[in-house]
Structure 1
Amino acid sequence: MDGLVDNRFEREWEALHEGVEPVVEHVTAEQVAHYAPLLADHFYQTMLDDVEAGQFLTHDKVKQRLHRSMMQWLVDLNAAKTPAEIHALYTHQRNIGVIHARVDIPVSVVLKGARCLKNRYATLVDNAVDIAQQQRHFSMRLFCSRVDLAMEVMSEAYTLNVERQAKSSEAYRLFSITENLSTEKEKQKAALLNWESEAMFQAALGGLTDTRLPRIRESEFGLWFRHKGSHAFQGVTECAVIEQVIEEVDTVCLQRIERSAHDLSLRAEQLRVLKTHAQNVLLQLSSLFEKSLELESGKDVLTHLLNRKFLPTVLSREIDLCRNQGREFAVVSVDIDYFKRVNDRYGHEAGDVVVQQVAALLQKQCRGGDFLFRMGGEEFLVLLVDVGRHKALELSEALRVAVEAHQFELPQTDALELTVSIGCAVYSGHPDYSYLLREADNALYEAKEAGRNRVCMA
């Protein structure tokens, strides 16, 4: 299919240049190369001033790379002549479209950027008095046509990838609704009741101590609901009710209790309200799970963890949460040290047992809202939600220690001691999640190079 599309692009490119005099192509390439810095400046400033586009461009590394990349893109678009150059140009436009889809940049923003480039080039060339007027006119037309064709290729790639992501996102939503359904239901009910008990206990001590009451959104249940449950049950009435109750409890009810140390009647009233809210959430939660059906796709067969199929969906959603709510998260790459030796010495069956036990250890250390993936072989990935750099390092070290302290029981042999190397990267604002994954992988490589059995931060 790509070959057919590639051939179509070549035909479109040839048709675009039919009747164009070589001098016009030369003038256009020359003018674009000359004005590339000004065009990139104008594009960048226009995008930064746009509320919708600006949120994708605030990261320093995006700024630094974008200006250089934009200048190079302009030059390449207006210098391609040979079949190899045209093919490379087509491939590059498709890659850009894929990245736009991955970062979730709206097509309208991309088209606005193209329009501002075309308008700016027309203004610059129109003022180039050393070029004949007719050549200026044809150069403007050629430049605009090339940009339009590039936009067509980007948009086509964008659409295909958005459709794939939408299908994956919906599959993950359905999967996350029903993963270990009965177990998850009881686990989250227990987590909610634990929070209620702790909040009531702290409130009872309110007259004796100046204690901040535990917020439901920061509890084990709150982490699970905000990062998993709300996505799994997206659009369901009960989900919206739970979100409203959480907001009411954290921003109104608990704060009133904290301020009522010397007003016993107000405190008693708010404690009754808190109890009612907790019972309401419990009722809505039970209703959510009762509406769900079993679904087992999307699991790693050996460990029953999420497989990498849903990683783009989860990462994109966490980045969106960070962008809208100002929260942080971290990606942790975990690799079993010297795993090949286990397979070579004890056999692949023993290797599978080790992978299963490591998966269980990691899962036990993860909090309710965290995500754990098996990436393949002996490699795992943990997504730690609502953490900064210090907390991410602390939790990563806890993962390492848990594996180091464990005695691995293998069939027909003595217990085995193993370690893991870990690379951790905290989300820093870059809109493309692949950048964060590369940072975590690089940190993992550093941990292995430094001697293994350690955590390295990106």
Structure 2
Amino acid sequence: MTSIPPEQQALEWQQLLEQFPAEVAAQVKELADIHRVTLATYFYDQMLEDQEANRFLSHDQVRTRLHGSLQQWIGQLFSASADRERLLALVAQQKQIGEIHARINIPVHVVLRGARHLKHEFLALLLRQEIASQQKLQCTRLIVATIDQSMEIMSRAYSDAHDRNSRSEEGYRLFSVAQNIGSEKERQCSAILNWENEVMFAFAMGLSSVQLPRMVSSEFGLWFRHKGAYAFEGTTETEQILQGMEHIDEELLPLFNQSDRSAEQRLQDLRNLREQTKSIIYHLNNLFEQINVLESGRDALTRMLNRKFLPVILSKEVAYALHTHRSFAVLAIDIDHFKSINDSHGHEAGDLALQQVATLLSNNCRGGDYVFRMGGEEFLILLVDINENGALGVAEKLRQQIEQERFQMPGDRMLKVTVSVGLALHDGHPDYQRLLRRADEALYEAKHGGRNRVVVARG
């Protein structure tokens, strides 16, 4: 979902309000003020009866905090005027609510269901008013349009925040494997072999099957169930390892040292255990190999592609452009005055700025485009199948989006950030390094020409 600047959202809200006479807005405002307690009570009565919504609510929460917050929101929502500053504040409020919903993981459809309940009760109250039919119709339109406008802004903010949260969750998934993938791989393979040796020793000592150490409770079993399975969630190998551990614990180990087993059968039991252990190690190695390939091509902080795959991708796009006679462009992007962000606010603030810029760049590019972090405060975007005018439009939009965004800093501080952009269109030259040099030269010109601007490479 492409982000919309707050100014544009405020303008859309202003245009909505201007469709209605002042007396209609006044009638709706009065109705909201008089009945906001009733509306809030009805809303939470309905939501608390909803099994899914009830997971996020409690009667105590409603009484102590949420009921009052909803009353205040209703009053502010229907007190909106066409004043631009007040509308910008109202837009910011809806975005903040959407971000909170994302942070606490309330599904969007649950929020929309609540809005439907709210509209239903509001319109029921309106129908009981003794006003002219035409004015009642216009009030109905205004109520529905206002709540829908709020929900749209909330949903967009939810989507943006959810994307950021997903990136953070992916980072944690990888962190839960280990900060050093190579040493973690060796540690876990060693843990499997240590467990196998414990089983062999217990078997040799004649312990009964119930006394043999279970793999699921071993050092490896605990790590994989609580960290590895989460980090590698969704892969075939993860399922095979989990099934393998269950097979060992539930089927193979119970056979050990049973009195009715022959010597040959006991030897086969050991062989089966060894083969199953080797299979688990094999699948584990595959998982770590996949992570190595993936992570060596991604920037750890921003989750963007790093330089590793840039030559391959550029070579492919150059070949495609030459074959199809289509063009593509690269945008060299640099955060303005980034050193001063680190110096004034600390490196944590610098990292947050980089992550938020990366998210904005990613969210405002098409599925076929590529976004790279080149290092430091530098990014590069490859725009596929595009001409110069189209690329310039994308570059200007990105610059404006970043300029208009309020960046969240530690301690709930907000920061304004701008970027300089150098744009170079592929001109048919087979060497992509020439294209990168032209983009860098345009970026240099943008930064030395005042920053916060886009410069197109010429010649």
Q: CA deviation at 1:215?
A: 5.2
Amino acid at match of 1:238: E
Cα drift, residue 194 of structure 1: 3.5
Q: Which letter does structure 2 place at the counterpart of 1:112?
A: R
Deviation at 1:94, TM superposition (A): 0.7
Q: Which residue of 2 aligns with 1:221?
A: 220
Conserved 8 A contact 1:42-1:120: yes
CA distance in 1, matches of 2:103, 2:272: 44
| Whole-Å separation in 2 of the counterparts to 1:68 and 1:57 | 14
For 1:37 and 1:88, locate their aligned partners in 2 and report how far apart those are by CA, in whole Å: 23
Greater displacement, 112-121 / 34-43: 34-43
Please say if residues 94 and 154 of structure 1, whose CA atoms lie closer than 8 Å, have aligned partners that are also in contact.
Answer: yes
The whole-number CA distance in structure 2 between the counterparts of 1:119 and 1:38 is: 12
Matched, 1:230 2:224: no
TM-score, reference length from structure 1: 0.53
Measure the CA separation in 2 of the matches of 1:73 and 1:234: 40
Residues 250-261 of structure 1: matches in 2 within 5 Å?
A: 252-253=250-251, 257=254
Q: Give the number of the structure whose alpha-carbon radius of gyration is greater.
A: 2
Aligned length: 301
User: Could you tell me whether the CA contact under 8 Å between 1:192 and 1:221 is conserved in 2?
Assistant: yes
Deviations 1:63-97 (A, max 9, x none): 85333322222121112335443222111111112
- CA separation in 1, counterparts of 2:59 and 2:216? 28
2:453 alignment counterpart: none
Instruction: Please name the residue that 1:157 is paired with.
Output: 157
Change (3 A) 1:208 1:71: same
Work out the CA distance in 2 between the residues paired with 1:248 and 1:120: 56
Letter of the structure 1 residue corresponding to residue 142 of structure 2: L
Cα distance change on mapping 1:215 and 1:93 into 2, 3 Å: farther
Q: How does 1:28-43 map to 2 (within 5 A)?
A: 28-43=28-43
CA contact (8 A) 1:29 1:75 kept: yes
Deviation at 1:235, TM superposition (A): 3.8
State the secondary structure of the residue aligned to 1:186. Answer: helix
- The answer to whether the aligner puts 1:107 opposite 2:108 as a matched pair is yes
1:80 paired with 2:116, answer no
| Counterpart residue number, 2:122 | 121
Query: What is the aligned-residue identity percentage?
Result: 39
Distance in structure 2 (CA, Å) of the matches to 1:284 and 1:4: 45
Aligned to 2:445: none
Does structure 1 residue 5 correspond to structure 2 residue 2? no
> 2:391 corresponds to which residue?
none
Question: Counterpart in 1 of 2:332?
Answer: none
**Counterparts of residues 21-420 of structure 1 (less than 5 Å):** 21-57=21-57, 61=61, 64-81=64-81, 82-126=83-127, 128-170=128-170, 179-198=179-198, 216-249=215-248, 252-253=250-251, 257=254, 265=261, 277-293=276-292, 295=295
Query: CA shift at 1:272, angstroms?
Result: 7.4
Instruction: Mark the CA change 1:24 to 1:247 in structure 2 (over 3 Å): closer, same or farther.
Output: farther
Shift, 1:186, TM fit = 1.2
Cα distance, 1:148 vs structure 2: 0.6
Task: List per-residue Cα deviations over 1:398-452 (Å, max 9, x = no partner).
Answer: xxxxxxxxxxxxxxxxxxxxxxxxxxxxxxxxxxxxxxx99xxxxxxxxxxxxxx
> 1:349 maps to what in 2?
none
| Structure 1 residue runs without a partner (length 5+) | 300-306, 311-373, 377-436, 439-458
Segment of structure 1 superposing worse, 147-156 or 240-249 = 240-249
Return the offset for 1:3: 12
- Residue aligned with 1:55, SS: helix
Task: Verify the 8 A CA contact 1:6 1:87 in the aligned structure 2.
Answer: yes
Tell me, which stretches of 5 or more residues in structure 2 are unaligned? 304-346, 350-409, 412-459
**Alpha-carbon offset, residue 183 of structure 1:** 1.1
CA distance in 2, matches of 1:174, 1:118: 44
Partner residue of 2:374?
none
| TM-score for both structures, normalised by structure 2 | 0.53
Alignment partner of 1:293: what SS?
Answer: helix
Instruction: Find the aligned partners of 1:59 and 1:261 in 2 and give their Cα distance.
Output: 57
Tell me the amino acid that sits aligned with residue 239 of structure 1. T
Q: State the Cα distance separating 1:198 from its structure 2 match.
A: 4.9
Residue type at the aligned position of 1:22: A
SS at match of 2:227: helix
